[in-house]
Chains A and B, each alone.
Chain A
Amino acid sequence: MDVFQGLVQGFEVAFSMQGLLFVFIGVSTGTIIGMIPGLGPITAIAVMIPITYGMNPAIALLLMAGVYYGAAYGGAAASILLNAPGTSEATATTFDGYPLAKQGKAGKALAIAAIGSFVGGTISVIFLTLFAPLLANVAVSFGPPEYFALMLMGLMAIASLSEGSTIKALLSGVIGLMIATIGIDDQTGTPRFTFGTPHLMEGIDFIVIALGLFALAEVTSLILNRSAKLKDMKKIGSLKITKKEYKELAPTMGRQSVLGFLVGVLPGAGGTISSFLAYIFEKKISKNPEEFGKGSIKGVAAPETANNAANNGAFVPLLSLGIPGSGTTAVMLGALIVLGIQPGPLLMTDHTDVFWGVIASMYIGNVILLILNLPLIPYISRILLVPRPLLISLVIFFCIIGVYAVNFSTFHLYILLAFGIIGYVMRLIQFPAAPLLLAFILGSMMEQAFRQSLTISNGSLSIFVTSPVAAVLLFIAFLSLLVPIVKDFREKRKSTK
């Protein structure tokens, strides 16, 4: 069956009464779940599994997919307005989104996030339609050595997330790597730094750290610096994006749609990593990198475009190979199995309605999301008008709910609190929090991939250069380390002359 025929069949599923209804329910639930700090698509989809019992599998999957990419839209709101990442994928959006809100440009930031999500979502679904089976080969081309190289490349970017002192950024990154070692070590089954409690066996969840370091730390400093002038914060500003800004943003959104999609295709990488990489990439190639972190519109567009693109990318291995590309798609895969469909390479031919129905629903879902999200911006932004004491309590309230919902344990609330305090102290001594998070999220995968590689190669490091993909990635990592040093050296020589 060719793509066109398939897509027509897909639209028949998606445009049916039931299809449209559940796409709408999915994306709107996703948006709301995404908006609540901490509650992410995994929680939402897990709650939905019992609802999908006995449903047509195609409809069930398009509902769950809707929640997934809907959450990537909604996640930006809390990141921008409250500095509290709505989902882990929206963490990088806080870097510039919140400064924009502080400058009274919350409306614009939210509009850019919505449009970026739409562009990323739509371009990537076109890729998904045209190249899913082809790209399946890309998905399987990455083994442990390639993953290690990719993660190392990402890690090298830590220095570029610094605001001022590079040393502090690196130190912060090291702490992130250390935290990543908490939990059962996959390769030996040994619990590390768990202090004998089963609650730490799975390690610490990314969103717990992100909410602590960003949201709670921000709230703490708001409480302690009562005199701080945040008058502008009450302004929402215009949603309008000027022609000039559109011109500026178009290449960013275009690039990140492609890059985000490709990162998403790799099993295990996913939305959070892609949004960090997108942010760093745009900062590196920007002519004005100093604007990043202070309210750059590109700093909002890049992660928001990339995370939506990555979410769709994760459907490539799921639909064409039966391999989950991310935690959320793993839950979806489980749900499909419960519904009696064993996803695999033959899904496309055995269950054409499921395969194409989901892809078609994404076109519709993205349009619905844009229509849903843009007019809501002025209302959602009004949360900023809530008196500060109330707003602060609300943020704390949501953080607690979000963390509790991760695994329904009060233990992690204490960890949240601890990271809130750590985050505040880090601010006081001007340690950037972003490198810690980046290192944390890359750390465990990088370590496992490194050790898997060495087991395979019987301890020989040559495995990292005999694979061409790994070699190229390591070379880029090396360059990204070298270039700033050479630049620095040259500038110093210039100034001494």
Chain B
Amino acid sequence: MRRFILILCFSFLTLFIVACSGEKTGNEKSGSDSDEGWSPEKSIEFVAPSGAGGGWDTTARMAAKVFNEEGIIDQDIGVVNKTGGGGAVGWAYVAGKAGNPHHLFVASPPLIDVPLNGQSEYDHEDFTAIANLIADYGAFVVRADSEWEDLNDLFEDMKADPSSITVIGSSSPGSMDHIQFVKVAKAAGVDIQKIKYVSEQDGGELTALLNGSVDVFSTGVAETVQQVRAGKVKVLAVTSEERLEGEVISDYPTVKEQGIDSSFVNWRGFFGPSDMDEEAVQYYVEKFKELSDSEAWSDIRQQYGWDEMFMSGEEYETFLNEQREEAKQLLDELGLGK
């Protein structure tokens, strides 16, 4: 009997350790003293500030996989999910690792939008921007039997009677799905304050579109492919500058080719905590460049329909600041800026 309990306790303990093993954190002194610059001496942590399976998570896991499999980085890379607050929980976590170059995180436009909405005390300037890796794009989706054939049809109806059309997306107002739609609509001359947007965060966006509760679904390109193939929906526009390459997605018309001068890029890159050692930043920039240029990463990009978009250093900083100015203007106009 007693032995059984012992075994039970032991197995629970093992499980506990397994469950927590992704949680390796360390405060020991980092960096090596060799003359060849910095290199990591222990395992590296990639933080995905969201649950498993989203865009941040996929990027982090795929990057970690290719880094290790291709031998670009020898140290083990673990991916940790820090869910909550549209990213704010993960950002707060990395912000607490100031100066420790073993913790990086994946970021995209919400790192700019969420702080502007007043939901995170940290914004991109509180971290070290290391390198941007890829670009993804937004897509505006309607039911296959919808009367709108292109984006201009939709926007004309929106101008005539904004109260008759509802847009759905999975992020809160002021974050990505909302902003990408508003940005394009504004360029087309729609009164963006009158756009009806509902946020659905329990996974019901597509059902609401399919059953007619809402009219337009603002989402990412990847989410649309299977539904388009099945003939359930059609994509009115994709927010990339030029047509995307690949099966199905090459059929999506861009916003630009429909005469609306606008685009939206869902950039995705890696950031580290503040006060990172210059040599450590240099190390990562080189490694990310190597990753971006690798054959294996090119396959991954193709698999997920991502575009190559490598930026680092000053170029990246400037880009981020521009993005913020643009987002701030839109949010202020919507009355969402804080």
A: residues with CB less than 8 A from B are: 32-33, 36, 39, 43, 45-47, 49-50, 53, 139-145, 147, 184-189, 191, 198-199, 201-202, 267-268, 317, 321-325, 330-331, 333-335, 337-338, 340, 342-347, 379, 382-383, 385-386, 398, 401, 405, 407-409, 445, 448, 451-452, 455-456, 458
Contacts and interface: CB of A to CB of B under 8 A. Distances in A.
B114 to A, nearest CB: 8
Contact of B58 (A43, A147, A338, A407): A338
B265 interface: no
B57 interface: yes
Report the 3 A-B pairs with minimum CB-CB distance, sorted nearest first. A334-B53, A344-B226, A143-B213
A385 B51 contact: no
Given A47-B19, A323-B206, A344-B229, 5 more contacts: A198-B84, A198-B120, A267-B202, A345-B230, A407-B89
B92 A143 contact: no
A141 B173 contact: no
A491 B30 CA distance: 77
A385 B210 CA distance: 55
19 contacts: A36-B12, A43-B19, A46-B81, A47-B19, A143-B213, A144-B204, A188-B172, A198-B92, A201-B89, A321-B206, A322-B226, A322-B227, A331-B51, A343-B226, A345-B232, A383-B5, A408-B82, A445-B202, A452-B200
Nearest to B197: A455
A461 to B, nearest CB: 16
Contacts of B226: 322, 342-347
A101 B232 CA distance: 51
Nearest to A318: B203
B52 interface: yes
A330 B65 contact: no
Contacts of A334: 51-54, 57-58
Q: Choose among A198, A337, A405 the residue with the greatest number of B CB atoms under 10 Å from its CB.
A: A198
A409 B25 CA distance: 13
A331 B163 contact: no
A140 to B, nearest CB: 5
A331 B52 CA distance: 6
Nearest to A141: B211
Interface in B1-33: 1, 4-5, 8, 11-12, 15-16, 18-20, 22-23
B4 A379 contact: yes
Contact of A405 (B19, B203, B206): B19
A456 B213 contact: yes
Contacts of B40: none
B306 to A, nearest CB: 13
A448 B79 CA distance: 32
Contacts of B119: 184, 189, 191, 201
B89 A202 contact: yes
B202 A140 contact: no
Contacts of A39: 15, 19
Interface of B: 1, 4-5, 8, 11-12, 15-16, 18-20, 22-23, 51-54, 57-58, 61-62, 65, 79, 81-86, 88-89, 91-92, 117-120, 163, 166, 172-175, 196-204, 206-208, 210-214, 222, 225-227, 229-230, 232, 303, 336
Contact of B85 (A145, A201, A267, A382): A201
A92 to B, nearest CB: 21
A446 to B, nearest CB: 11
A405 B15 CA distance: 11
B65 A53 contact: yes
Q: Choose among B5, B53, B175 the residue with the greatest number of A CB atoms under 10 Å from its CB.
A: B53
A189 B225 contact: no
Contact of A142 (B54, B62, B207, B225): B207
B173 A189 contact: yes
Contacts of B174: 189
Contact of A401 (B16, B61, B62, B197): B16
A330 B226 CA distance: 16
Contacts of A186: 172, 199-201
A268 B202 contact: yes
A143 B208 contact: yes
A46 B85 contact: no
A407 B83 contact: yes
Contacts of B5: 382-383, 386
A142 B205 CA distance: 11
B227 A385 contact: no
B177 to A, nearest CB: 12
A271 B92 CA distance: 32
A335 B83 contact: no
Contacts of B222: 337, 342
Contacts of A33: 15
Nearest to B305: A342
Contacts of A407: 82-84, 89
A408 B23 contact: yes
B54 A455 contact: no
A286 B81 CA distance: 45
B172 A337 contact: no
Contacts of B92: 198
B264 to A, nearest CB: 18
Contacts of B4: 379, 382
A456 B166 contact: yes
A36 B212 contact: no
A455 B166 contact: yes
A395 B198 CA distance: 42
B53 A32 contact: no
B58 A267 contact: no
A455 B168 CA distance: 11
A187 B214 contact: no
Contacts of A32: 11, 15
Contacts of B86: 184, 189, 201
Nearest to A191: B119
Contacts of B82: 407-408
